[in-house]
Amino acid sequence: MRYRSVVLKVLSGAIVFGAWEIAGRIPVSYAFPTFLESMSALLSLTLDGTIFTAYAETLRPLVVGVIISAFLGIGLGLWIGLSARFDWLFSPIFVVMQSAPLAALIPLLVMAYGIGLTSKVFVVCIMAMPVIVLNTAGAVRNTPAPIKEMGRAFLGSDLDIIMKIVVPAASPIIFSGLRLGISAGFIGAILSELKITPTGVGDIITYSRSIADYPSMYAAIFSIILLAVLFLNLLEKVEDVLFKGNNRGYASD
């Protein structure tokens, strides 16, 4: 049972990569390489340093945008969840942000902030922050009232109730929102590189597609997915350390 989740993840990966290899060998399309061809291209990109140079560029807006989204998103989510007036005033903004077509907003961001780092950070924030805010607000809003009343009965201050009762009780859903926000942030970072300026990993994807080097294109896409999975697993470990005894489990366990 201890290694059940690891075995299931390995088995799931083997099924997906096996299906990828078979689909590439059929082939389903001339533009769809096999898994082994894509991994060979990824190895070449790694050995010549291309992938590291690309990620040095891609991670700048991603890291800045995710940090801003995490701090502001959790802070705003707490405030929205604790205040009915603030909820009424700001929740619709983040609902609209979450449902807005980002591809249509990117030209407006470019007109306002240019094609540099600022526009890309905004794209990451627009993708990541609504998810974090709405998940945090929902978790705080649904904290059981009897627990909060018990804290007041023991003469806990408002800050004590928030930090020692509300936040720990809401932490699983808050961290779920962070995981979803980080996933959305990765999408935003790559989308900004494809739609604003072809830099970083987005440049590898665009250039490889233009010269029909499809193994390199799929290798770059695979590397993004791999890095996102590593980030999400790291966040799970952080949650386990910060909130021991309050982990309600994951679907993958």
Report which residue type is found at 151: G
Sequence length of the chain is 253
In this predicted model, what pLDDT tens digit does every residue of 42-75 receive, in sequence order?
Answer: 999 999 889 999 998 888 888 999 999 999 999 8
> 66 and 131 in contact (C-beta within 8 Å)?
no
Report all structural domains of the chain as residue ranges with CATH numbers, in order of start.
Answer: 32-242 (1.10.3720.10)
In this predicted model, what pLDDT tens digit does every residue of 110-162 receive, in sequence order?
Answer: 888 887 888 889 888 888 898 899 998 888 888 777 777 777 777 777 777 77
Cα torsion through 241, 246, 230, 56, rounded to 10: -60
**Euclidean distance between CA atoms 126 and 191, whole angstroms:** 12
- Kindly report the pTM of this predicted structure: 0.79
In this predicted model, what pLDDT tens digit does every residue of 211-246 receive, in sequence order?
Answer: 989 999 999 999 998 888 888 888 777 777 776 655
